[in-house]
Amino acid sequence: MSIRLFLLVALLSTITLVNFIAALHGYRASMEEAQRLFDRQITGTALLLAALPIDRTAPLVVEENDLQAFQVRSADGQLLMRSDNAPTTPIGDVQEGFSEQNFSGFRWRVYNHSAAGGRSIRVAERVDLRFRLADEVVLQSVMPILFGLPVAGLLIWLVIGRGLASLRQLASELRHKRAEDLTPLTLAAPPEELLPLVRSTNALLERLQASFERERRFSADAAHELRTPIAAIQVHADNLANLLRANDAAAPESLRQLQESISRMAHLVEQMLNLFRVTPEHYPARFEPIDLHRMAREVITELYPAFARRGQEIELQGHAAIIRGDRFALVLLLQNLLNNACKYTPEGGRVVVDVKQQEGVVLLRVQDSGPGMPAEERERVFERFYRVGGDRHESRAPGCGLGLSIVHHIAELHQARVSLDTSSLGCQQSPGLAVSVIFPLQVSK
């Protein structure tokens, strides 16, 4: 349930309940006061009639409104004067004071007053009419409260909205934070109630930042420290192979496997360094206008010997497409995409690189005629060290599972999207893989 709606309903319910109790109390108090006022009115009427000189043998009938009725009787009970709506029989009690009687089809409040000379003055007032008049008085005071509830609801809604503005700002800042952004929240002048939440969130972000930083530092330092001993082992292995060739001795199979393992380990260490080097939140990117088509041609030229050794055909399509990007990171992205294509495409296969600008974006698409990738695996391949089929991939190509993770990091750095699909170069046995990287023309930094 919405906090705003909950507060609105709760406050309106509270106001309505308090007003109802206050109105009920006011109604009772008003009715009591109205009764006293009406009683004083008929008492005054009785005193006025008592002051009139009345000495008649026949009763005088006076036209009166429907609200009141009266009788004036002599000491011996003779009717001297009455209103036209009063009966001829005595009304009220014999004793002086107030009482209630029924006559003429209504309930009446009767006041009996004993005047000088033994005369009896009896003034009656209809109970239903006096209650109706009292209800109208009370209703006039209650109606503004009822009509004011919608206005109060609107004002409460606006005031609560204003009070929740800081909460909406906090929610907006959290919603727009990127996954890798662990910087503290910068909520301006948060209210006292939100301070514990902001402080707790910032403390959590700080702990996460420190934890990720330790992980990155450890991986980067470990990879960096491993480069030197791996290079030394590689040199010794190459020296041993050269020495065996110089003595016309056959190199054992174990030496060849050792050299392949050293190359694989060196590749793994280099990829780990590249992965942590291009982390979007820490990479010191230098954005400049870059012709992605021309860069792709240069990288293809650099890597062409690897394609030629495997008898693969590589083709560059498209046209010039200018984006703002970091040169080192984009070269690394192209190298990883082309190395993957070369590695997983069988000998004699085909690789096509397409770069073009369309509908406000620049599309880089690398397709191969390799074994492709199952649709259910296409999300997981961006995870670090994940390989489809593990080390038992059907292509038997060595790898460490970091290439597409590096591509994904570099795409995030350029606010680009990476998608995987089936290649148009494939066939039923080898559906191939198409990797598309969609760059925006403008990168907000």
Q: Rg of the Cα trace of the chain?
A: 49
Backbone angles phi, psi at 182, to 5 degrees: -110, 20
Residue 125: left (phi > 0), alpha (psi -120 to 50), or beta? beta
pLDDT digit string, tens, across residues 205-236:
888 878 777 766 776 677 667 777 878 888 88
pLDDT score of 283: 65
Q: Which of 98-107, 129-138, 272-281 has the lowest mean pLDDT?
A: 272-281
Q: Which of 207, 242, 275 finishes a domain?
A: 275
- Of all residues in the chain, the percent with pLDDT exceeding 70 is 85
Do 350 and 221 fall within a single domain?
A: no
- Residue 376: CATH number of its domain: 3.30.565.10
Question: Would 127 be classed as within a structural domain?
Answer: yes
pLDDT score of 294: 94
Handedness of CA 212, 216, 221, 226 (dihedral sign): positive
Instruction: Write out the residue range of the structural domain in which residue 302 sits.
Output: 284-440
Burial of 72 (0-12, 13-18, 19+ CB in 10 A): buried
Q: How confident is the model at residue 199 (pLDDT cuts 50, 70, 90)?
A: confident
Structural domains of the chain, count: 3
Question: Would 185 be classed as within a structural domain?
Answer: no
Do 231 and 320 fall within a single domain?
A: no
Residues 384-394 as b/e (b if ≥16 CB within 10 A, e otherwise) read beebbeeeeee
Tokens of 129: 């009419």
Question: Would 169 be classed as within a structural domain?
Answer: no
Average pLDDT on 170-183 reads: 74
Question: Would 177 be classed as within a structural domain?
Answer: no
Please tell me the distance from the alpha carbon of residue 293 to that of residue 355, in angstroms, as a whole number.
6
Do 254 and 297 fall within a single domain?
A: no
Do 303 and 368 fall within a single domain?
A: yes
Q: Which of 79-88, 171-180, 272-281 has the lowest mean pLDDT?
A: 272-281
- At a CB cut-off of 8 Å and minimum separation 6, what does 142 contact? 23, 27
Question: Is the whole-model pTM more than 0.75?
Answer: no
Do 138 and 69 fall within a single domain?
A: yes
Do 8 and 154 fall within a single domain?
A: yes
pLDDT score of 56: 61
Mean of pLDDT over the chain: 80
Do 338 and 429 fall within a single domain?
A: yes
Question: Would 269 be classed as within a structural domain?
Answer: yes
pLDDT score of 398: 58
Do 270 and 295 fall within a single domain?
A: no
Q: Which of 233, 256, 275 finishes a domain?
A: 275
Q: Which of 255, 275, 295 finishes a domain?
A: 275
Q: What is the 3-state secondary structure (H, E, C) of the chain?
A: CCHHHHHHHHHHHHHHHHHHHHHHHHHHHHHHHHHHHHHHHHHHHHHHHHCCCCCCCCCEEECCCCCEEEEEECCCCCEEEEECCCCCCCCCCCCCEEEEEEECCEEEEEEEEECHHHCEEEEEEEHHHHHHHHHHHHHHHHHHHHHHHHHHHHHHHHHHHHHCHHHHHHHHHHHCCCCCCCCCCCCCCCCCCCHHHHHHHHHHHHHHHHHHHHHHHHHHHHHHHHHHHHHHHHHHHHHHHHHHHHCCCCCCHHHHHHHHHHHHHHHHHHHHHHHHHCCCCCCCCCEEEEEHHHHHHHHHHHHHHHHHHCCCEEEEEECCCEEEEEHHHHHHHHHHHHHHHHHHCCCCCEEEEEEEEECCEEEEEEEECCCCCCHHHCCHHHCCCCCCCHHHCCCCCCCCCCHHHHHHHHHHHCCCEEEEEECCCCCCCCCCEEEEEEEECCCCC
Question: Would 428 be classed as within a structural domain?
Answer: yes
Average pLDDT on 362-384 reads: 85
pLDDT digit string, tens, across residues 315-350:
999 999 999 988 988 999 999 999 989 988 888 899
Do 346 and 221 fall within a single domain?
A: no
pLDDT score of 392: 45
Question: Would 168 be classed as within a structural domain?
Answer: no
- pLDDT beyond 70 at 429: yes
Please tell me the distance from the alpha carbon of residue 340 to that of residue 405, in angstroms, as a whole number.
12
Question: Would 371 be classed as within a structural domain?
Answer: yes
Please tell me the distance from the alpha carbon of residue 162 to that of residue 156, in angstroms, as a whole number.
10
Contact 321, 281 (CB under 8 A): no
Contact 182, 208 (CB under 8 A): yes
- Residue 269: CATH number of its domain: 1.10.287.130
pLDDT digit string, tens, across residues 126-167:
888 777 776 776 677 677 777 777 888 888 888 877 777 777
Do 80 and 216 fall within a single domain?
A: no
Do 242 and 345 fall within a single domain?
A: no
